């Protein structure tokens, strides 16, 4: 009987491919501008290697101990969340950062089953005020 390779191995290799693409895309940038994308890509590559390592360990388990591979229940939440990120990008282009972020914090918190409107609005307001005063007001003085 042929052993199945766990889905995490494929996901890890896909993440490594994205890291290599990021490194290739930043090759023509000046070193200062390329530093952050490369740093984040390097961190992502380390995490991808860990995913591959654990995926190979899961592949060695007997078939009856392995969880089912990709199912709709496993994909539903990530796909909906990525759809919401896509909506955020569109909203961001139409309305700007503060309005889009304020709306999306509320939508994502409701989607993640947060029911307290006081908490949702409180977090939204505090976050937006913090970002405004740190990144708009303070950085204007520099």
pLDDT in tens, 79-103: 898 899 999 999 999 999 999 999 9
For 62, list phi and psi in degrees, rounded to 5: -60, 155
pTM above 0.85, yes or no: no
- pLDDT, residue 18, reads 93
Average pLDDT over residues 125-134: 93
% of the chain with per-residue pLDDT over 70: 91
- Report how far residue 70's alpha carbon sits from residue 132's, in angstroms, rounded to the nearest whole number: 41
- Report how far residue 22's alpha carbon sits from residue 17's, in angstroms, rounded to the nearest whole number: 9
What is the largest distance, in Å, between two alpha-carbon atoms of the chain? 68
Q: How far is CA 24 from CA 52, 75, 108, in A?
A: 22, 30, 33
């Amino acid at each position: 009987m042929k052993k199945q390779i766990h889905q995490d191995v494929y996901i890890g290799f896909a993440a490594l491919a994205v890291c290599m693409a990021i490194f290739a895309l930043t090759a023509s940038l000046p070193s200062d501008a390329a530093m952050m994308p490369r740093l984040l890509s390097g961190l992502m590559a380390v995490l991808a290697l860990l995913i591959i390592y654990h995926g190979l360990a899961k592949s060695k388990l007997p078939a009856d101990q392995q969880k089912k591979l990709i199912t709709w229940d496993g994909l539903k939440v990530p796909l909906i969340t990525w759809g919401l990120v896509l909506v955020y990008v569109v909203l961001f282009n139409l309305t700007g950062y503060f309005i889009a972020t304020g709306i999306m914090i509320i939508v994502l918190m409701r989607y993640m089953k947060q029911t307290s409107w006081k908490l949702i609005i409180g977090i939204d307001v505090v976050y937006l005020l913090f970002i405004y005063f740190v990144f708009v007001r303070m950085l204007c003085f520099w």
